[in-house]
Structure 1
Amino acid sequence: MKRLSISVLLLALVHIVAAQQAVIRGDFADPSVIQVGDTYYAAGTSSNWAPGFPVFKSKDLKNWEQTGSIFPDLTSWADFYYWAPELNYDNGKVYVYYTAHKKGGNLCVGVASADSPEGPFKDHGPLVCQEVGSIDGFPIRDENNKLHLIWKEDGNSVNKPTPIWIQEINEERTALIGEKKELFRNDTPWEANLVEGVSVIKNNGYFYSIYAAAGCCGPGCTYATGIARSKSLMGPWEKYSGNPILAGQGDWMCPGHGTAVTYNGKNYFMYHAYDRSSNKYTGRQALVRGFEFTSDNWLRFTDEYLTPTNLPKQYTVTDTFDKGKLDLQWNWSVFNKPDFELKNGRIGLQIKDDRELYIARKIDGPNYEATVETLPSKSALAGVALVGDDKNLIYAAAKQDSIHITLVKDGARSSLGKFPVKGKGKQLFLKMNVKNNTDISFSYSIKGSEFTALKIAAPDITFLPPWDRALRAGVLAKGVQGEVAVIESFKFESK
């Protein structure tokens, strides 16, 4: 028995060591990565969260820190769905080809440029806007060094096939030139209703297209990764008979949409997948896995996973709002940018209308706590929130005499309870505790030490978040126009 127990323990330890881990945890879909000098930079989808497209940097593809975002103030031509930023470093300049929804139109592929991956970026506007939408732009030079743009026509949005197009682009990256040509489309059973997220690399006389197919998002996702190859960039393209070459495995499901990169002479692929335990609540997270070329000139993934060494799963982050600018962890809605003032170690959120106003940060696991220290006013509500989007959230917010817990689903508000504040103090602490993704509870404290539970019937929050996004935990204000909600501090604990 003793010998068996030791064997079982060793097997468990091997499994733990070998288990793949996200290198950028939490919501970071469609990652793109480039190398500039000895540093790697990655950008990911921000969808309807602002700022647009967070940017991270790393020396080893394993340990990443955020440097900022590509569009701190978004763009003038687009209003939402900031998807799939594709970084490109060419001739000493950095470019990003990205998807966004054109005001009054549909999805387009745009481009911006900068002298450094850390910006600032100058937006050059949309390059291609097809009637049903154009997404997932990828730049590549052909065998004659001519620059081209590859993208997907978003036919699946209207129940049509999804051609992958290519067209030459001028060296200024301001316009497509010549005629577009189809490379391939979804025409095999495993690809289902779409192919997308094309990333092209070259090796041994071949162009290889690593692409994603099937359903991208949510608990019912079917996403997987395939490969196609061609001697010429313009085709004909041959799909691998053994596709998909990367599918769900271990703790991760629905892998796809990434970028190939080299590190220490080896090939790696940075892509996204869902953690099975937290799925849509934490969103699609960034992973890095090795791959190699085969003797018959195809490509296969190895079992080499890059794993972060500086990111514990249990940690605490505190913001006392004592800096001159808002911390990089914070996001807000593209439809409701907050007006705020940072002063005397506090943040004041100015209420513009009757909507909930919030700043929030991504979560990266199924268990966590968020605590907000407020300075309650006579009428404006301030507190802690779990946010899917503007129309889907739950929060506990307080004024001087009472605490209100509210659920918002599809824009309809429901009161879950109103509680008198027992005791007096200048500050009021509101805590939100989440277990197993959806078991949520709230409590409060006058001094920030002993908390009193706010007893409500267990709310159903499984409708959070929207299909292509992930939850955020943060600070919320609610009231009438002109009121200011004041927050002293925010603490997030990942359990």
Structure 2
Amino acid sequence: MPLLYQNPIIHADYADPDVIRTGDNFWMVASSFNQVPGLPLLHSRDLIHWQIVNYIVKRLPSPEYDCPQPGKGIWAPSIRFHNGLFWVFYSLPDEGIFVTHTDDPLGDWSEPRCIKAAPGWIDPCPFWDDDGRAWLLNAFAFSRSGIKNKLQLTEMAPDASRLLEEGRIIFDGTPSHPTLEGPKLYKRNNEYWIFAPAGGVKRGWQTAMRANSLTGPWLCRDILHQGNSAINGPHQGAWVELENGESWFFHFQDKGVYGRITHLQPLRWAEDGWPCAGEKQDAYGAGQPVQVHPLPALPLSPCQLQTSDDFADGNPGLQWQWQANPKSHWFTSGRQGLYLRCVPVKSETSVYHLPNLLLQKFPAEQFHVTASLDLSLCRDNDEGGLIIYGQRFAALVVNQSEGKRYLVYRHGWINDRGELDEALLDVVEMTNQQHIRLGYDVGYDGLVRFKWHLPDGVWQPVGPRFSAGAGKWIGARMGLYARGNVAGTGGTLICTSYNISEI
């Protein structure tokens, strides 16, 4: 009986995954949008178990990103290994296409360089051909460029320092492949291949294209769709070939509040030369996603994505990202626990607009979160605690005012007019204890019940329950924040542990 794996292999929001193999190692990159540090790098040895090992972009390049910019930032990167270097290309949809490289993926990457300043050029993929020439393939964001459903090819310098020509459209998917985007370019048996998603993230499918020349003509065939499975929109990912010849395809599924979670599909090459992904291929060659399947022919190498954190050296782990470019005074490292400064802001500022939210992804369908807080360094007008963040958000925090402490339950959302509404749902006066535990339980579809606990008491629920919502192009995020008031100097909130356990 073969050993099996189960999809999704990552139940967390690693959108638009791209994966390569170098020897016995597999490397994954994903979109990070406005979250900083950006462009996560994940590593695996067995294709099933993954761990965050680095961030490729430490800061976003414009002062605009010193404030939250939901939906902007890093979109759909590609990773490649060429001439002894790792290369990552990505787009900032309002700025253009950027490139960075390194000889050590776990170390520092080169300062990102804009290879093409062009709003709306997105989803870039580099390709180095056997003749030494280099190319860039990209799609377009209609909102910025006025172009949609088209793929563009441009020759670039072999060192990726510049583009050598104006781009040419090599495929127009308008009649048959709406929302064509996210292309990945490969070469196999002297044929050129483009793997590209179409149809949009909710209901889309995966297409493969083949040609004898980069300029086409390109023949296309859909190779993966939902079929009779429960996996909506299976597309946008990467083809990986093992040393033994096995082929695998990574893709995401848009799961609403949980974001775009990662699946792995078997891929085989049919006698007619076309790839077949998943299982139960129809008469036209399109398969549907597998739920369980025999493992890849690789030694198992278990590891886990980082979630819980005890902040052993005072620094947040790799699972954490800020809502904007971070500033050095937002926390103090070098000791046990996370010392978050209650950064002074105007009292009318919504938590939705705070840049110093420290957040991570939802890690599962159902899970518990508990955080232990030390309030001994908080001052009047300080506030801090837990937040679940999206276009619907809620926070359970401790607020200190005139020497008294209050437990405050906040809720807000972007209404149908695009305006921000925020309200207090509950306020409880507390005794002035120095330690408190805050937490919540997340159930199916992101239904959340907040709770709190004093050292000498039992867990107390806070109502009403909260229905978490996705953010702009991302799933819900969860984490911590601390803020003060411009009238004060701002104290410090200490988080001594942040624990997550699946239900």
Shorter-chain TM-score tier: 0.7 to 0.9
Aligned partner of 1:52 among 21, 24, 38 = 38
Structure 1 residue 359: deviation in Å?
Answer: 1.0
Q: Which amino acid aligns with 1:386?
A: I
1:70 aligns with 2:18: no
2:429 aligns with: 420
**Pairwise CA RMSD of aligned residues?**
2.8
Query: Superposed, which structure 2 residues align to 1:280-359 within 5 Å?
Result: 280-303=256-279, 304=293, 306=295, 310=302, 318-323=308-313, 325-334=315-324, 339-350=330-341, 351-354=343-346, 355=349, 356=351, 357-359=356-358
Q: Which amino acid aligns with 1:183?
A: I
User: Which deviates more from structure 2 when the two are superposed, residues 165-174 or residues 327-336?
Assistant: 327-336
2:284 aligns with: none
1:365 aligns with: 364
Distance 1:309 1:34, change over 3 A: closer
Structure 1 residue 42: deviation in Å?
Answer: 0.8
Identity of matched residues, %:
20
1:270 aligns with: 250
Distance 1:310 1:136, change over 3 A: same
Aligned partner of 1:188 among 171, 175, 187 = 175
Structure 1 residue 319: deviation in Å?
Answer: 2.0
Aligned length: 456
1:50-86: CA deviations, max 9, x gaps?
A: 2111111111212111111111233358844211121
2:288 aligns with: none
Query: Superposed, which structure 2 residues align to 1:82-481 within 5 Å?
Result: 82-101=74-93, 106-131=94-119, 133-142=120-129, 144-155=131-142, 160-189=147-176, 191-192=177-178, 194-216=179-201, 221-240=202-221, 243=222, 245-247=224-226, 250-263=229-242, 264-274=244-254, 279-303=255-279, 304=293, 306=295, 310=302, 318-323=308-313, 325-334=315-324, 339-350=330-341, 351-354=343-346, 355=349, 356=351, 357-376=356-375, 377-379=378-380, 380-388=382-390, 392-399=392-399, 401-410=405-414, 411-421=420-430, 423=431, 425-447=433-455, 450-454=458-462, 456-459=463-466, 461=467, 464-481=469-486
- TM-score normalised by length of structure 2: 0.83
Q: Which amino acid aligns with 2:426?
A: G
Distance 1:316 1:227, change over 3 A: closer
Which blocks of at least 5 consecutive residues in structure 1 are unaligned?
1-12
Structure 1 residue 48: deviation in Å?
Answer: 1.7
Distance 1:476 1:78, change over 3 A: closer
- TM-score normalised by length of structure 1: 0.84
Distance 1:366 1:360, change over 3 A: same
Q: Which has the higher strand share?
A: 1
Which runs of at least 4 in structure 1 moved beyond 6 Å after TM superposition? none
**C-alpha separation between the residues in 2 aligned to 1:296 and 1:477?**
60
1:122-153: CA deviations, max 9, x gaps?
A: 1342222435x100111113463311000012
For the 8 Å contact 2:5–2:48, the answer to whether it is kept is no
**C-alpha separation between the residues in 1 aligned to 2:340 and 2:25?**
37
1:280-327: CA deviations, max 9, x gaps?
A: 111112222121222222221144565888478xx9954222225321
**C-alpha separation between the residues in 1 aligned to 2:395 and 2:314?**
27
**C-alpha separation between the residues in 2 aligned to 1:450 and 1:168?**
65
Distance 1:168 1:374, change over 3 A: same
Distance 1:63 1:138, change over 3 A: same
1:489 aligns with 2:486: no
Structure 1 residue 223: deviation in Å?
Answer: 1.8
1:39 aligns with 2:30: no
**C-alpha separation between the residues in 2 aligned to 1:94 and 1:175?**
17
Structure 1 residue 378: deviation in Å?
Answer: 4.2
**C-alpha separation between the residues in 1 aligned to 2:83 and 2:189?**
23
Distance 1:162 1:403, change over 3 A: same
